[in-house]
A and B are shown apart, each in its own frame.
Chain A
Amino acid sequence: MEVEAGDAVERARSGDSDAFRLLVEQHSHAIFRLAFRMTGNEQDAEDVVQETFLRAYRQLNKYEARSSFSTWLFRIASNYSLDLIRMRKRHEDRRERATSEEHDILNVIPVDTPGPDRIVYGTEVQQKVSAALDQLSAQERTAFVLRHFEGLSIEEIGESLGTGTNATKHSIFRAVQKLRKSLEPVVGHAR
């Protein structure tokens, strides 16, 4: 598959739009999943998917085959997502500073929400997970998503984001600490 992808990249570089279409069709699902997990927003994720391929197209001559094409796309997508999250956060901070308590995870779903039903419980856990991910800083969320969901090594993430291994490791540790703080009361309830 990688050989085929490599062939498609070479053909796309030489101006073969069908080859680039093939790459878009092959990688769109994975980029969407990554983007949604990073941004937590469906429309933003769609924007990231499109922007990722537009940038990839523009920068095809910069792609070096030492990393896989999908990893290269992940790098573009994660950097753009990071930018998007930061911009959104800055904007929201300014706009909604007065109502920042709305972001308190404990207020997302009241603790005493009744929910013995398994489906309701599952939905509640999912919402808590989404809210917990929203509590992470842009850097923490990006590093965590790339490690946890996409299986990139800490070294690869550090290289992709330009943050280095140690800083990436600490971003992931902080993310895990925050997730534990938010989610342990929830999953503890399930045990």
Chain B
Amino acid sequence: MNHVSEEQFVLLYYGEARDRGAIDRHLDDCEACRAEYRALQLVLNTVDSAPVPARSAEYGAEVWQRIEKRLGARKRSRWSPARWWIWAPVMTALLVVAFLAGRFTHKPTGGELAKNQQIRERILLVAVGDHLERSQMVLAELSNAASGKGKLDITDERQMANELLEDNRLYRQTAHSTGDTTVSNVLDDLERVLIEIAHSPTQVSNDQLEELQRQIESRGLLFKVRVLGSRVREQEIAPGAKDKDSKKL
């Protein structure tokens, strides 16, 4: 047998070598290959030393607490036509307060908001956070979708995009009217893509899917929405604290 190749060593290490018997016999006779394999084992065994931050025994319960509300929010989103008419006027009022307060990108002016304003802002942040999370979900689903032989069914994504569009328009217009161009620009980019998704057929071809993916990617949209969503969530969790490095997107 010739010397063992590096690829064979890797497969041997992971127990996937087809000709294990022949490799073992060769290793018995060949000091050079034994040394080579020992070197590989040493490196791969060392990789195991890469630490993973510990999580408490209650971690699973903590994760559940964090996502439980979002599971509920997703279920509610399917009723969105009713939700839009019920909440839109309240949202508008709250958004004006929130954007004027510069929650997302500006330091506070120093004046303390009244307690009732803070409560309303907090409600708003939850709503905006949910909106961005659901938008992120739609974008990520399409970005991750693999091209296949047939057409891809995007019925769910279309429906969610349709539902998100109305809310998005409201948030974007409010952000624009209050001069928050950072938020307004992200929501504007988001809206264009949501429209494309909402107007796509329920079954898209590979070309159509790739075009949607290109639009999402070319705008860096998924990343922007994710960053903005994280920032909103931070505010939601710690309403008194401001993001120290609240950079423009």
- Enumerate chain A interface residues (CB-CB to B < 8 A): 17, 20-21, 24-29, 32-33, 36-37, 42, 49-51, 53-55, 57-58, 79-80, 83, 87-88, 90-91, 122, 125-126, 129-130, 132-133, 147-148, 153-154, 162, 169, 172-173, 176-177, 179-180, 183-184, 186-187, 191
Contacts and interface: CB of A to CB of B under 8 A. Distances in A.
Given A32-B59, A176-B44, A187-B43, A80 B49 contact: no
B115 interface: no
Interface stretch (B62-70, B96-104, B183-191, B202-210): B62-70
Contacts of B49: 122, 125-126, 129
Interface in B41-96: 42-44, 46-47, 49-53, 55, 59-64, 66-68, 70-71, 74
Q: How large is the interface on B (under 10, 10 to 19, 20 to 34, 35 or more residues)?
A: 35 or more
Contact of B71 (A51, A54, A179): A54
B143 interface: yes
Interface of B: 6-7, 10, 14, 16, 39-40, 42-44, 46-47, 49-53, 55, 59-64, 66-68, 70-71, 74, 137, 140, 143-144, 146, 220, 222-223, 226
Given A50-B67, A80-B140, A154-B16, A28 B47 contact: no
A8 to B, nearest CB: 13
Given A49-B63, A87-B222, A184-B39, A173 B47 contact: no
6 contacts: A37-B52, A88-B223, A91-B223, A122-B49, A130-B50, A180-B40
Contacts of A57: 67, 71, 74
Contacts of A20: 71
A2 to B, nearest CB: 18
